[in-house]
Amino acid sequence: MDTRLEYLTRLRVGQRKTGPAPNKPCLLLALICEIQSGHFSAPEVVIDKRLLARYHDLYEAATGNRHAANPQLPLWHLRNDQGPTGPLWSPDYVPEMASLSDQLGQPKSLDNLLARFASAHLDAELFAALQDAQVARQACALLTQHYLSDDPQAFRRLTDYLECALASSEYEKAPENLAGVLQESSQQYARSAAFRTLVLDAYDYRCAASRLRYITPDYRYLVEAAHLIPFRVSQDDRPTNGLALTPNLHWAMDNHLIAPGPDHRWHVSPAVDALVPDNDWLCRLDGKPLVLPRNPRWQPMSEALAWRMDHLQR
């Protein structure tokens, strides 16, 4: 085992009736997943929606209670643990808070914490170690065995989640590999997870049709990742074959009632009767601009948009 991982067994964690408190281990597991996915490519860690959602996923797997996650607790208290070269976690305080941080005490909410710092630095040597896929897997096994193995069912949920997350990370780093016929069922779960993550992140969790975005306090999203050319037809999970859509509009697109066109506008099937009041939610979409990712790399393929237009009900 990499000696730099020994520090992960020395966390100052609280205790609950069933064993060690899961807060810090789940945060570190979330960091490992996001480092492996390439989302964090330097020791500076931005406390963003992806990291918080990942933390909530892992906390739910470990405890079965997503609502109790309270991410501000590990984000704050991890600064008291040591890494190979110094503090394991060093908050980047906003200038006006730097001298007051210890006097203010524990933040009472995530918003309260983010008012003090929105990023932190992970110990540089530990970060370097966790960039290696094999070491990252060792770190995940170490954290789950040491802190999160008291409940066999929860332990199985965690190991299954982490296996899929780490396999998915390989695709996230090389999204060009998300196209092609699947050889094994395990690939499908990993590819589907990568497709969902990349699409939702590209659209910043906003619907490409209605522009709606809603994120619950426990980091669940209103939108879904929808294939433009269905997977059964294309075998293509690249994010350029996807859109973020609310469930109702995902359903409408899959039933060919609406289509995004190569003109980057939405089109409504003439089969949708505009005189029926209940259809107004669809008819209002006709001609509206397609919401596009800010990064041109993730904008939908023109051939996929053309496929949708070709299959719009006439």
pLDDT of residue 18: 78
What is the value of pTM for the model shown? 0.94
Count of domains observed in the chain: 2
Looking at the fold, whether 116 and 224 belong to one and the same domain comes out as no
Looking at the fold, whether 98 and 158 belong to one and the same domain comes out as yes
Identify the domain containing residue 166 by its residue range: 3-171
Nearest one of 26, 120, 124, 118 to 80, comparing CA atoms: 120
pLDDT of residue 117: 96
Q: How far apart are CA 56 and CA 60, in angstroms?
A: 6
In a domain, 179, yes or no: no
- pLDDT tens over the chain, length 314 residues: 789 999 999 999 998 887 899 999 999 999 999 999 999 999 999 999 999 999 999 999 999 999 999 999 999 999 999 999 999 999 999 988 877 877 888 999 999 999 999 999 999 999 999 999 999 999 999 999 999 999 999 999 999 999 999 999 999 999 999 999 876 777 888 999 999 999 999 999 999 999 999 999 999 999 999 999 999 999 999 999 999 999 999 999 999 999 999 999 999 999 999 999 999 999 999 999 999 999 999 999 999 999 999 999 99
Looking at the fold, whether 227 and 164 belong to one and the same domain comes out as no
pLDDT of residue 185: 73
Question: CA of 202: how far to CAs of 25, 79, 119, 198, 208, in Å?
Answer: 28, 31, 21, 6, 11
In a domain, 157, yes or no: yes
Q: Tell which of 171, 188, 216 closes a domain.
A: 171
Q: Do 266 and 285 touch, CB atoms closer than 8 A?
A: yes
pLDDT of residue 186: 73
